[in-house]
């Protein structure tokens, strides 16, 4: 059974309405911008993080958000953040870099990764995420995303993920 088949069966079993659009592989928010214009809804980016205590986090935010990691770590009670490695991502979430998605919680049966969801996304009528691969986009409501994560015993921390402060402009003296 493919990952898509397993994931779709789980979504249907949970009564989650969704649709999926196939497209070429995308690895970055910039690469996905053309695809985003053709798919309605809130588009996301995901940060696979590890704190100094060894706890892993997956933060899902609006694609255009520039996350202030220092402020985020205080909000979620974490140590200093660094990015998790590709090997850790494969081991814990069963996905490869470029395919990061909150739906990978489906593969984290040991519950080692804490999900963090930007509160803006939780309220969206349509949130677009990867379905465990970066060659498609799956759309579902923010409420259904939260319901699904809770079903998988990965209740997300729903927080107002902070933006980085804009860089100060050089003075014109």
3-state SS assignment for residue 91 = helix
Q: Which pair of tokens denotes residue 15?
A: 């009564």
Strand duo 42-51 + 81-83: pairing? antiparallel
CA-closest candidate to residue 117, choices 106, 105, 108, 107: 105
The pLDDT of residue 76: 97
Q: In the prediction, which pLDDT does 173 show?
A: 55
Alpha helices in 15-122 (DSSP H): 29-38, 69-76, 86-93, 119-122
Helices (DSSP H) in 94-139: which residue ranges?
Answer: 119-122
**CATH numbers and ranges of domains, the chain:** 3-159 (3.90.960.10)
Confidence at residue 160, expressed as pLDDT on a 0 to 100 scale: 97
Q: What is the largest CA-CA distance in the chain?
A: 65
Dist. CA 41–CA 156, nearest whole Å: 20
Q: Return the pLDDT at 34.
A: 73
Residues of the chain with pLDDT under 70: 1, 167-173
Res 32: pLDDT: 75
């Amino acid at each position: 059974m493919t990952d898509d088949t397993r994931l779709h069966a789980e979504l249907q079993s949970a009564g989650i309405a969704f649709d999926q659009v196939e497209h070429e592989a995308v690895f970055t928010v910039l690469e996905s911008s053309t695809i985003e214009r053709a798919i309605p809804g809130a588009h996301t980016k995901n940060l696979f993080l590890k704190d100094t205590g060894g706890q892993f986090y997956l933060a899902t935010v609006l694609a255009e958000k520039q996350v202030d990691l220092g402020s985020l770590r205080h909000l979620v009670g974490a140590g200093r953040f660094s990015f998790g490695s590709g090997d850790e991502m494969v081991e814990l979430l069963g996905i490869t870099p470029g395919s990061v998605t909150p739906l990978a919680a489906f593969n984290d049966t040991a519950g080692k990764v804490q999900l963090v969801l930007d509160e803006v996304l939780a309220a969206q009528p349509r949130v677009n995420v990867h379905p465990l691969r970066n060659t498609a986009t799956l759309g579902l409501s923010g409420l259904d995303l939260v319901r699904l994560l809770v079903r998988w015993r990965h209740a997300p921390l729903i927080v107002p993920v902070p933006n980085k402060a804009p860089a100060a402009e050089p003075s014109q003296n």
